[in-house]
Structure 1
Amino acid sequence: MTYKNTSFTRLFLILSLFGILLNSCKEKTVSVFDEADAIINSIVVPTFPDKVFDIIEYGAISDGETNNSEAIKRAIESCHQAGGGTVLIPAGKFLTGPIHLKSNVNLHLEEGAEVLFSKNKADYLPVVHTSYEGVELMNYSPLIYAYKQKNIAITGKGTFNGQADKTNWWPWCGAERYGHIEGEPQQRDDHNLPRLRKMNENAVPYTERIFGAGHQLRPAFFQPFGCENVLAQGVTFTNAPFWVMHPIKSTNVTVDGVTVSSHGPNNDGCDPEYSKNVHIKNCVFDTGDDCIAIKSGRNDEGRRVNIPSENIVVEDCEMKDGHGGVVMGSEISAGVRNVFVRNCRMDSPELDRAIRIKTNTLRGGFVENVYVKNIQVGQVKEAVLKINTYYGIYDNQEGEHIPSIKNIYLEDIEVENGGKYGILIQGREENPVKNVTLKNVHIKGAATPMLVENSEPINFEDTTINGNKY
């Protein structure tokens, strides 16, 4: 095509050039984190009517010894029947069994309130529909539980104390350092995890997977199961039996300003599973296991359920002790996508990794579109970024499901002490890790800068490890 030297042609060329420049500017200014902002804006944060139901008025006694289960239950039921509002737990020590939330109820802890959960295992019966390490079952009730509810919250400046310790709940993990005595029942006994995992393989309906009394599988602390519009704000969790916050099959979950200070076995801070549109912000995680671990079912169960965890934003959080800062896996068989982590501080001699992806060929699953930006790492033990597709292989964790991991992006990361490895990637020859990018990442003090196996070449931009540019 030829152009004649006319005013119209000159105007056409000018407008075309302007369009090219405009599109170029848009490409430079639009960030993948605009998608994170869009996710946040789409999340419905529950609000509640201005009605208060004080548990004292329902007979609760703050002596730390009287079991207030019935008083709290009556307050929640009254609040729910009245169309919603706030169930108030005032300052003081209140002993209770499990708390079951209902729609449109905000359970609010005043500053100085401490909820002590009963050490009597029988208080957590009858069994409820719950989950253990990525497998659904009927088991002891979580300490705070909501099942298929809408618009629920736990808020305030008080403390939820699970009262788990080396004499209660923790010994069931089977580790001597958590109080287990050799010969006593524990979760790896044949009637516990082996039985549950065989039921998983055989697709036994969850209603027939009856555990609870006579079994040693610990309950989660706070578990919204199949819920919509969930808020946890301001509260502190301590002394958890097992995973601390476990939103499963839930949508629109906000965790804001929560402190988790719990160093028991499997004391993950927050484990979204089969969940969508999750916003975790302004939190402090000081945990006995992963700070945040995004999950989506174990093995055959995850593939049957087939609900990926997706659209998860983590920002402005502090990660202290823990196996990993932000982790995907290991129960990950339905996959994880669209994870955004920004403006976080990770620092502890007991923090093993900053960003971690863990799976194997029994789990399979996929992880894609993980974006990490503006992270300050003081020190980690093992690696800043660890991608491991051989997780647990010494426990016979090999199968036929090759994981897929791609589109992992780290930008503006400063690390003072990178631990054993700066970057550790162990993919699979059948499906190597794809499209890992490090931009403006600076790692100091790594004993070994990188160990990378079965991965496409890493994309480096303005990145240094131990002062060497990559």
Structure 2
Amino acid sequence: MKKLLLVFTIITAFMACKTHSEKNKKDNMENEISETDIWKKADKIIADITVPQFKDQLFDITEYGAVADGTTNNSEAFKKAIAACNEAGGGKVIVPEGKFLTGPIHLKSNVNLHLNEGSEVLFSKDAKDYLPAVHTSYEGVELMNYSPLIYAYEQENIAVTGKGTFDGQADNDNWWPWSGAERYGHKEGEAHQKQDHNLPALRKMNEKNTPVSERNFGEGHQLRPTFFQPFGCENVLVKDVTFTNAPFWVIHPIKSNNVTVDGVTVNSHGPNNDGCDPEYAKNVHIKNCLFNTGDDCIAIKSGRNNDGRRVAIPSENIVVEDCNMKDGHGGVVMGSEISAGVRNVYVRNCIMDSPNLDRAIRIKTNTLRGGFVDGVYVKNIEVGQVKEAMLKVNLHYGIYDNQEGEFFPNISNIYLEDINVENAGKYGILIIGREGSKISNINLKNITIKGAETATKITDADPVNYENVTINGSKMK
């Protein structure tokens, strides 16, 4: 009997060990699968995005009266060609080789505005051409303002494509001086956006939840328009075109779904010249692009303060790949207008390199913005040179402007891997948290950082999880 009991005990122990071993093996497999699934999710987002298709019908703007002399205002010709294309069920509105001056272009459903190689669309320098005011947005706050240069409101299946150039003609004599900055042409005594009737008035309307229809700006005000803004649109394609000399943000898909930005060049160094700013946007694919900008290359946003909380649409399911970031405040950035939150951002196979690029990956918010960032996945990034840090998370953004409130941000689940940095600037990793907010589960794997003046500066945040990370030759633990 004792022998039988001993045998039973041995068998039970063996089975328990085997079960435990199998469980550990299963857990390890699940962890491996989980890491693989992260990028499978990115692939699925891309596969699920509807890229618009168009009828094989052509509408040449010259057949509607356009003149390629660079001085004739062709606004009516663009308008007529787009209307005819839309009414015929869709197709391509063709801009042939040459220089075409115009006011704002308003796209309609099923229209692909196509710029042939050698074509250049020049936008009017007369602010009055961008009136009447339309429903748009300025720094994360909705308002009635000057029309974006290219605008689509609640349309479906739209595109701007081709090898031509959109030139906003903004410079130190036009649009940029409204920023109030001397280096952008502002002269003392001239009107600018920081005066009480401009941004301060809009900020107060945001705080008071003033209806958007009553936030009337435009004529007599100095808030610059965005360049290309699909507002509340479905199935948007921007492919191969070049944008230059923008008044403000360049590509701004807001409240839009299924957005593809492919092979685009943004070469624009004016004030607030962000390259691409998805806001309240879902299912966005940015690929094969060159960003050389006066502000953030890509900045993912979701509204400022009360407006973001009112709209309450997170930006999510955004994939950035095979892009080249040169000058800018950040390569891929989340914030600072981020009050409705951001989730599921994937960045892979990009090059970020310029003595005028401040950071590679950046998250910025404060206790007026609040918001959350949940799920940022970055892989296979080559960073040549940045000024401040490879990774910067800052929950005190704008502290010198007294941007303090009661909405504490939550930053979690950040994964960076397979990154090489040749010259990191001031810091390898810079994380500035704050009491009452949460920065948790930041994971760095297979990363080599060189040339950092200080390896890390991390305050008010959970410890970073390092795996095979070296900064200035020292392994991080």
Q: Which residue matches 1:233?
A: 239
Hey, what's the Cα distance between the residues in 2 that align with 1:78 and 1:126?
Answer: 22
Give the deviation of 1:432 after TM superposition: 3.2
Q: Which residue matches 1:37?
A: 43
1:382-409 Cα deviation digits (max 9, x unpaired):
0100000000011110000110000111
Give the deviation of 1:23 after TM superposition: 7.5
Is the counterpart of residue 339 in structure 1 residue 339 in structure 2? no
Work out the percentage of aligned pairs sharing the same amino acid: 72
Give the deviation of 1:31 after TM superposition: 3.3
**3-state SS of 2:59 partner:** strand
Equivalent position amino acid for 1:77 in 2: A
1:80-131 Cα deviation digits (max 9, x unpaired):
0000000000110000000000000000000000000000111100000000
Q: Which residue matches 1:311?
A: 317
Q: Which residue matches 2:414?
A: 408
Hey, what's the Cα distance between the residues in 2 that align with 1:16 and 1:389?
Answer: 43
Equivalent position amino acid for 1:274 in 2: Y
Q: Which residue matches 2:13?
A: none
Hey, what's the Cα distance between the residues in 1 that align with 2:190 and 2:30?
Answer: 64
Is the counterpart of residue 173 in structure 1 residue 179 in structure 2? yes
Q: Which residue matches 1:266?
A: 272
Q: Which residue matches 1:363?
A: 369
Q: Which residue matches 2:474?
A: 468
**Against the structure 1 CA distance between its residues 281 and 401, is the aligned structure 2 distance closer, same or farther, given a 3 Å change threshold?**
same
Q: Which residue matches 1:148?
A: 154
Q: Which residue matches 2:14?
A: none
Hey, what's the Cα distance between the residues in 2 that align with 1:252 and 1:426?
Answer: 34
Equivalent position amino acid for 1:457 in 2: P
**RMSD value, Cα:** 1.8
Give the deviation of 1:28 after TM superposition: 2.1
Is the counterpart of residue 372 in structure 1 residue 378 in structure 2? yes
- Select the residue among 25, 28, 33 that pairs with 2:32: 28
Equivalent position amino acid for 1:333 in 2: S
Hey, what's the Cα distance between the residues in 2 that align with 1:376 and 1:20?
Answer: 35
Is the counterpart of residue 448 in structure 1 residue 454 in structure 2? yes
Q: Which residue matches 1:215?
A: 221
Equivalent position amino acid for 2:306 in 1: D
Hey, what's the Cα distance between the residues in 1 that align with 2:308 and 2:181?
Answer: 27
Q: Which residue matches 2:63?
A: 57
- Select the residue among 253, 271, 282 that pairs with 2:259: 253
Give the deviation of 1:14 after TM superposition: 11
Corresponding residue pairs, total: 462
Hey, what's the Cα distance between the residues in 2 that align with 1:407 and 1:162?
Answer: 39
Hey, what's the Cα distance between the residues in 2 that align with 1:184 and 1:19?
Answer: 71
Hey, what's the Cα distance between the residues in 1 that align with 2:88 and 2:20?
Answer: 62
Q: TM-score, normalised by structure 2?
A: 0.94
Q: Which residue matches 1:299?
A: 305
Q: Which residue matches 2:3?
A: none
Equivalent position amino acid for 1:201 in 2: E
Give the deviation of 1:261 after TM superposition: 0.1
Equivalent position amino acid for 1:273 in 2: E
Q: Which residue matches 1:9?
A: none
**3-state SS of 2:358 partner:** strand
Is the counterpart of residue 115 in structure 1 residue 116 in structure 2? no
Give the deviation of 1:428 after TM superposition: 1.4
Hey, what's the Cα distance between the residues in 1 that align with 2:396 and 2:321?
Answer: 29
**3-state SS of 2:284 partner:** strand
Q: Which residue matches 2:433?
A: 427
Equivalent position amino acid for 1:46 in 2: P
Is the counterpart of residue 200 in structure 1 residue 199 in structure 2? no
Hey, what's the Cα distance between the residues in 2 that align with 1:299 and 1:460?
Answer: 34
Equivalent position amino acid for 1:376 in 2: E
1:168-198 Cα deviation digits (max 9, x unpaired):
0000000000000011000000000000010
Equivalent position amino acid for 2:272 in 1: N
**3-state SS of 1:168 partner:** coil
Q: Which residue matches 2:334?
A: 328
Can you give the 5+ residue segments of structure 2 that lack an aligned partner in the other structure?
Answer: 1-5, 9-16
Hey, what's the Cα distance between the residues in 2 that align with 1:16 and 1:85?
Answer: 62
Hey, what's the Cα distance between the residues in 2 that align with 1:39 and 1:78?
Answer: 34
**3-state SS of 2:404 partner:** coil
Q: Which residue matches 2:92?
A: 86
1:409-434 Cα deviation digits (max 9, x unpaired):
10000000010010000111212310
**Against the structure 1 CA distance between its residues 14 and 84, is the aligned structure 2 distance closer, same or farther, given a 3 Å change threshold?**
farther
**3-state SS of 1:322 partner:** coil
1:64-84 Cα deviation digits (max 9, x unpaired):
010000001000000000000
Equivalent position amino acid for 2:112 in 1: N
Can you give the 5+ residue segments of structure 1 that lack an aligned partner in the other structure?
Answer: 5-12
Hey, what's the Cα distance between the residues in 1 that align with 2:415 and 2:430?
Answer: 15
**3-state SS of 2:369 partner:** coil
Equivalent position amino acid for 2:32 in 1: K
- Select the residue among 163, 166, 171 that pairs with 1:160: 166
**Against the structure 1 CA distance between its residues 16 and 452, is the aligned structure 2 distance closer, same or farther, given a 3 Å change threshold?**
closer
